[in-house]
Structure 1
Amino acid sequence: MSQDIRVKKGLNIKLKGQAVTAVATVSRSDFYAIKPTDFHGVTPKLAVKVGSEVVVGDVVFFSKDNEKIKFTSPVSGTVAEIKRGAKRKVLAVIIKSSSEDQFKDFGKSDPLQLEKEAVLEKILESGNFSSIKQRPYDIVADPSDLPKAIFVSSFDTAPLGPHYAFALKGKDKAFQAGINALTKLTDGDVNLAVDADEVSFFHDIENANILKVHGKHPAGNVGTHISAINPINQGDLVWTVSAQGVATIGELFLTGKYNPTKIVALAGSRVKNPQYFELRSGQNIKKLLEDHVEVEGSRIISGSVLTGTQIQLDDYLGFNDNLISVIPEGNKHRFFGWFPFVGSGSIHSASKTSFSWLTPNKEYDLDTSLNGEDRALVVTGEMEKYVALDVFPMQLLKACISNDIEKMENLGIYEVAPEDFALVDYTNTSKLEAQEIIRQGLDLMIKEVG
């Protein structure tokens, strides 16, 4: 079964430095990190201490609120350090890798031949459940819940976004096994969104409701797909899984091993040769960046330029990230930058104050500059053009700012995630941090409503 979704709102931002479809090798890192901060809302309870020996798949920490949700080691080695912040908050568990990996054996099995409890137990024990998120709230799901549907997006429309059909080339059987496993976790549909304009193995996946999506960014966001075919109302639960996460779950059932290796795009105008690299979740990326990036004067982002997290040179790949973006730091000012037509042709604008609308396929070398200062939040109607959900974005943001829970519920807080407001961050003339406001609103709902 398949359905068509046409996304009429949104904006494509073409940046220089798109990764070419080639995979390069990178030497094994000496250190890997598992960061609780990659899993919003999780309070970790450590299962290891400095000096502990671990193999791939051993539990490193679990959720204090739900001990069934486990977070496992991506590599074999020794726990070298437990980084802590204020009030002894665990920021990262650093593992010094051994020369070779040993894998904990979770056993091979066909998920279609197993009961739901057995499938769920294997996913939980391996640490793969941490890749399953829930809406509302955009947090790690609760394994005791029964979602009304599960959504997976197989393409990314964000600037410099990775090409998943290429990144998962040769893993079609693992991806199918992952979809088969997910069908056991819901009584509803497993919905797989595919790019309607591209032919790939995703179109041939079985046991999934195929959503053929047309349109601009955020056409690749799961929130867009949920809103289009199965909106979330109060009391509803929907689970989401990334394409790479599905393949990792499938590989667990095919091989009995937890293998968080993935093909990651290194992209952006500050990258010498943008391409893909085979990396592991939590891998130290210092050597990779030193060899392939003009580090001086660059902003390094684990994830998309719209939704990712700024990291430093000697940092680690985020658990959920399949892209490292590197763009110029915005530490320069344009002469007469306040004048609309200064720099026309070299800057991108969502409005018609520059001539970028005349060249929609042109690639731009954008930096991190805000191009303006904070301004009053006034009604302009601009936000509605870029949020592809059935909500009133400005009114919802105001309700979040004022902590008005009743208005937040009425305006659709249960349907949204920060990434759904990423284009608002980019386009709004108030220079509003919309994603941060939505995240704070969601956290308030978790605290007050649950």
Structure 2
Amino acid sequence: MSNDIRIKKGLNINLVGAAEQTTSKAVLSNTYAINLLDFHGLTPKMLLKQGAEVQAGEALFYNKNREDMMFVSPVSGELIEIERGARRKILTLKILADKAQEHVSHGSLDPEKASPEEIKGLLLKSGCWPFVKQRPYDIIADPDAVPKAIFVSGYVTAPLSADLDYVLQGKEAELQAALSALGKLTPGKVHVSVGKSSNSPLSGLSGIELHKVSGPHPAGLVGTQINKIDPINKGEVVWTVAPSDLIIIGELLLTGKFNADRTIALAGSSIKAPKYYTTKIGAEIATFLYGSGVNEDNIRVINGDVLTGSMSSPDGYLGFYNNTVTAIPEGDDYELFGWNKPIFNKISSTRALTFSWMMPNKKFTLNTNTNGEHRAFVVTGRYEEVFPMDIYPLQLLKACMVKDLDEMEQLGLYEVAPEDFSLTEFICISKQPHQQIIREGLDLMHKEIG
């Protein structure tokens, strides 16, 4: 039995360059990198020195605030570089991969028979615990916390993101093992959401509460689903896990090995033949970027989708949590009187000289231009039209900007993550960095309130 969730508020952003459902194997990367900026709020402590030999799944560093939480190497090879920033802060670890890969065995575990303590212990020592995120604060989950529920979103609405129905095919055993194990870590339910008309492998799994979701973006974001299914109140914690990460957790439970393989979607209008590639976490983006051909030289490579991803380059590395890499034209050109003429080739939530609302099925080719300058917030009511949560987005953003903890708490900051404001940032006529504002607000609240 499933529960239907229909989201009415939102905006679908149809872009040219969706990945065709064919999968190729990426060229093997010579070096792999772990970017510590992927782990927000982490204080790392190194276990190995530069030049050390490592095996795939061997711990590289641990969380200073939780010494049994390990972060492991995706491949076997030599730790060739520890890049540091200001105050010797560790930024990136680079590993020169061996031709023949060797894996550390952490020992398999039967999730049906294992205790919650055994499951937590295996996930912590194997490097899989960082896949479990928590709300509030959108950080790596605290193993000592007891979540009231666990949420998994198998419904994707973000533009050009990987199609999870395709990516998860044939992985039912790993998904079931992971969800059975995670179900023992909460007294509540494991909520799994899929598209209403999808054929997701998640639909046939046991031990879950299945929800069928429909509606425009951001219906596929886990934050939207939490708000509609079981909202977070003060003092409560929920955990979230991405379906692609469930595969790695499930394979660990079944085989005892940390397998960093990842099926990613290479998408975007700057790619000649967008499609899927199998690679590993931390692989060089160039190993699959040029395999499909690039339409132009001046492109923006995005580690993730176009709304929430981070700017990268062809020389960059696949992020720890990402299953999409997007390439679109760099927007460093400007239109003469672009604000004062009818616009047919851009997406807009307004009808002021724009006509995308008349062509709901048309796919657009957009670049990175902001189409306007940064300015103070203008109260238009547009955010509320695309923001489906029972939260006042503009008021919450302003409360974060002035660091009013009481207002932030009362307006629902506990429920949100930066990605929940990606769509309001996209349509913002004031060009304010909504996701950055929310991230800074969450960090302040975590520091002051905990």
Q: Which amino acid aligns with 2:337?
A: F
TM-aligned CA deviation for residue 366 of structure 1: 0.2
Structure 2 CA distance for aligned equivalents of residues 443 and 108 of structure 1: 36
AA of the residue aligned to 2:166: F
Q: CA deviation at 1:295?
A: 5.9
Residue in 1 aligned with 2:444?
A: 444
1:247 to partner: Cα distance: 1.2
CA offset at residue 345 of structure 1? 2.3
- Which aligned runs of 4 or more in structure 1 are off by greater than 4 angstroms? none
Please give the alpha-carbon distance, in whole angstroms, between the structure 2 residues aligned to 1:280 and 1:148.
Answer: 32
The gaps in structure 1 that reach 5 residues or longer are: none
SS in 1 for 2:345: coil
Give the corresponding residue for 2:282. Answer: 282
Q: Distance in 1 between matches of 2:107 and 2:294?
A: 40
Tell me what 2:309 maps to. Answer: 308
Match for 2:326: what amino acid?
S
Which residue of structure 2 lines up, in the alignment, with residue 297 of structure 1? 298
For the Cα contact (< 8 Å) 1:152–1:242, is it kept in 2? yes
Q: Trace 1:153-164 onto structure 2 (pairs within 5 A).
A: 153-164=153-164
Corresponding letter in the other structure for 1:34: I
- The reply to whether residue 225 of structure 1 matches residue 225 of structure 2 is yes
Contact kept? 2:69, 2:124, Cα under 8 Å: yes
Given that 2:164 and 2:200 are in contact with CA atoms closer than 8 Å, whether structure 1 keeps it comes out as no
**Alpha-carbon offset, residue 269 of structure 1:** 0.4
Which segment drifts farther, 188-197 or 293-302? Answer: 293-302
Identity %: 46
**Deviation at 1:294?**
4.1
Is the contact made by 1:36 and 1:43 (CA closer than 8 Å) also made in structure 2?
no
Contact 2:57 2:258 in 1 (8 A): yes
Partner of 2:36: 36
- 2:309 maps to a residue whose letter is G
Aligned runs of 1:26-425 on 2, under 5 Å?
26-291=26-291, 292-294=293-295, 296-341=297-342, 344-353=343-352, 354-425=354-425
Q: CA deviation at 1:289?
A: 2.3
CA distance in 2, matches of 1:385, 1:322: 29
Deviation at residue 379 of structure 1 after TM alignment: 1.9
Of 1-10 and 172-181, more deviation after overlay is shown by 1-10
Structure 2: gaps spanning 5 or more residues: none
**Following TM superposition, by how much is the alpha carbon of 1:3 offset from its aligned partner in structure 2, in angstroms?**
1.3
Kindly indicate whether the alpha-carbon contact (under 8 Å) linking 1:168 and 1:263 is maintained by their aligned counterparts in 2.
no
The one-character-per-residue Cα deviations of 1:315-371 (angstroms, maximum 9, x if unpaired) are: 110000000010011111122201141xx3222212113111111011000000010
Q: Is contact 2:131–2:140 with CA below 8 Å preserved after alignment?
A: yes
C-alpha distance in 2 between matches for 1:137 and 1:287: 34
SS in 2 for 1:32: strand
Contact kept? 1:160, 1:268, Cα under 8 Å: yes
Deviations 1:388-430 (A, max 9, x none): 2111000000000000000000100101100000011110111
Matched-pair contact (CA < 8 Å) for 2:304–2:323: yes
Residue 43 to residue 319, structure 1, CA distance change in 2 (3 Å):
same
Shift of 1:161: 1.0
Aligned-residue Cα RMSD (Å) equals: 1.1
- Indicate conservation of the 8 Å contact 2:155/2:213, yes or no: no
Note if contact 2:154-2:200 (Cα within 8 Å) is conserved in structure 1.
no
Separation in 1, partners of 2:417, 2:296: 31
Three-state SS of the structure 1 residue aligned to 2:289 is: helix
Distance (whole Å) between structure 2 residues aligned to residue 61 and residue 296 of structure 1:
38
Distance change in 2, residues 1:208/1:27 (3 Å):
same
2:21 maps to: 21
Q: What is the CA distance between 1:200 and its match in structure 2? A: 2.4
Distance in 1 (CA, whole Å) between partners of 2:327 and 2:400 is 31
Which SS does the other structure have where 2:316 is aligned? coil
